[in-house]
Chain A
Amino acid sequence: MRGIGKLVVALSIGLGLAGAAAATPAQAAGEARSPLSRDWPHAGPFGTFDRASVQRGMMVYREVCAACHGLEYIAFRNLLEIGLSEDEAKVIAAEYEITDGPDELGDMFERPGKLSDYYPSPFPNDNAARAANGGALPPDLSLVVKARLGGENYIYSLLVGYEDPPAGVELGDTQHYNPYFAGGAISMAPPLFADMVEYPDGTSATVEQMAYDVTNFLTWTAEPKLEARKQLGVKVIIFLVLFSILMYAVKRKVWAGLH
């Protein structure tokens, strides 16, 4: 009986370790600096998005990132989920030109975006994107927070982490040095400079603030159902813990007659 307790404990710990090890295989690659760690409002079991920050982040995306990076899985209607009114979302959608068609003559035409449209890609195709960016392809940002080891912390660190290259590091003509990027040589120029956006709520647009806001925004684009998931999770865990206690009591009662 004691042996089996050991078995279960050892296995669960071991499997946990194996799982953790499995989740961190790329760390050895490119000897990137480990990311800065920030407190994210959506972290933890009760975490929720900081809507003001997510909205500011959307502004940073719109005015800075969107020049090169797409957001293919986000429709303008989704912006209602981060607290924009329908009218505000419609105004943002209308800022984008969407190719629609064919019309009754068989021609494609341009029209302003509607709520049902998705963010258009900044480039017509990957080759055009590479040609405009010194051969590098700017990744779509919808899922980037989930697609990088380190998640939010990595994206934030990358945005604030540009440095002068240390001696001995050779960079290509269109490359820049960022110690958080695997290999250090990144093709994206430092994207953020202080006060490049003007926040309507008066928040000071420092590089750190913009990086923080846009990371919050991109966490939402990557995991839009995060709040619903965590809220349901808390309820489910509470239910299952109570159910476990109840079942434990029932089990003791049923088995009491035996021994």
Chain B
Amino acid sequence: MSEFQTNSRVIKWIEYRLPIFSYVNEHLVVYPAPKNLNYAYNFGSLAGVMLVVQIVTGIVLAMHYTPHVDYAFDSVEHIMRDVNYGWLMRYMHANGASMFFIVVYIHIFRGLYYGSYKSPREVLWFLGIIILLLMMATAFMGYVLPWGQMSFWGATVITNLFSAIPLIGDSVVTWLWGGFSVDNPTLNRFFSLHYLLPFVLIGVVFLHLWALHHRKSNNPLGIDIKGPQDTIPFHPYYTVKDALGLAVFGVFFALFLFFMPNALGEPDNYIKADPLVTPAHIVPEWYFLPFYAILRSIPDKLGGVIAMFAAIFVLFVLPWLDTSRVRSATFRPIYKQMFWLFVIVCLVLGWCGAKPAEGIYIIVSRVATFLYFAFFGLLPFIGWFERPRPLPESINAAVLKSGGGGAMPEGAAAKAEERG
């Protein structure tokens, strides 16, 4: 790792007092990353970019939005019609939320596949789950702000879940609402918290990065970095790879943003909230559908709520449920199959969540909910029975062996390292 050096006297002056330049150099330039990271590892930086996009567009929207039940819907239309490029800000923010979740879900599944939650990265994984929970709370409250029909009724249904808590449930709900129904106090506090939580998110993201850089990235082989021959400097190798990923993802984002900005939304949310008219189907945003399906698959209200929260909190014990010492699914024949089944189960749950809770959909969501938890329940046993394939001796050895566009003499990697 090369020490930070500069000839600029101004930078030296600052550096002596606040070592910010060497810090940036250490974490964004020379930071040693495994040389075999594939494109699945792009989604972490993409998530960071999406957080920034959401905060920037959100700050602009907040300048024109009015958090009052009588004006919220109108102020959103004012943004769409009268504010210069207001439509762009709002569609970017609304679709950006979906993009953020797509990116983060892929990021989480990547972690599951390559065993990124295992020692010594458990705290990194926990921080990730906290980020997910904060994102969900933020997104839920943000969806309430336009004060359309689905905003209002979604808020009513979800806050009512807390009434399932024994004894104090009803009081908790009244406390959350700031009244006896979802009303102006609810909208005000949701706006306040929706503005606050993203900044809490930034804090947790920094802890997440701190934990990452302390123990370094996992990699598709799931084996430890054994020396400088296994790594390459973050810049330019991964800065350029992340830039490529960002550009391609930008095309995907732009397709939704400019050509189907309402495809992921509910038509009902273009109707002003009316506490006297209940929509035929109350559906949450697509990124909550799997959890919504789990909630509805349990016939008991409290049981459903517990199952829904358990579906996320089970991720906290994952590092101990998985007893295999091998991280990457690449070398775990049984776990690999289970992983893909788990992905399918999550998608099926999402599909069920969008359907009315009746007939065949209930049966399918019950089976899928059972399989969701069965995945975690079976993990300890898989670790004992499974015979993993032999691990490569080192990242560098595996990279050289697989070729990846031609073998490279042993010295070249070290040389690349020196260049950084």
Report which A residues bind B (CB closer than 8 A): 1, 3-4, 6-8, 10-12, 14-15, 17-26, 28-30, 45, 73, 78, 139, 142-143, 146-149, 151, 182, 222, 224-225, 228-230, 232-234, 236-237, 240-241, 243-244, 247-248, 250-251, 254-255, 257-259
Contacts and interface: CB of A to CB of B under 8 A. Distances in A.
Contact of B236 (A12, A151, A234, A254): A254
A7 B38 contact: no
B261 A258 contact: no
Q: Which of A3, A146, A237 has the most CB of B within 10 A?
A: A3
Given A30-B280, A233-B259, A258-B35, A22 B88 contact: no
Given A11-B343, A21-B351, A250 B240 contact: yes
B259 A45 contact: yes
Given A3-B329, A10-B343, A248-B244, A237 B81 contact: no
A155 to B, nearest CB: 12
Contacts of A12: 102
Nearest to A4: B40
B306 to A, nearest CB: 24
A26 B416 contact: no
A147 B258 contact: no
B329 A247 contact: no
B67 to A, nearest CB: 19
Interface of B: 35, 38-40, 74, 77, 80-81, 87-88, 91, 98, 102, 105-106, 109-110, 113, 220, 232, 236-237, 240-241, 243-244, 247-248, 250-251, 254-255, 257-259, 261-268, 270-271, 279-281, 283, 285-286, 289, 329-330, 336, 340, 343-344, 347, 350-351, 353-356, 399-400, 403-408, 412-413, 416
B81 A224 contact: yes
A29 B412 CA distance: 65
Nearest to A6: B340
A123 B354 CA distance: 37
A6 B340 CA distance: 10
A18 B81 contact: no
24 contacts: A3-B336, A4-B220, A12-B102, A22-B286, A23-B265, A25-B283, A25-B355, A26-B280, A28-B281, A29-B281, A148-B267, A149-B267, A182-B280, A225-B80, A229-B258, A230-B258, A240-B251, A247-B240, A250-B244, A251-B240, A255-B241, A257-B416, A258-B237, A258-B412
Contacts of B77: 73, 142-143
A113 B24 CA distance: 61
Contacts of B265: 23
Contacts of A259: 399-400, 403-408
Given A147-B270, A224-B81, A225-B81, A17 B263 contact: no
A165 B254 CA distance: 45
A237 B259 CA distance: 11
Contacts of A229: 87-88, 91, 258, 261
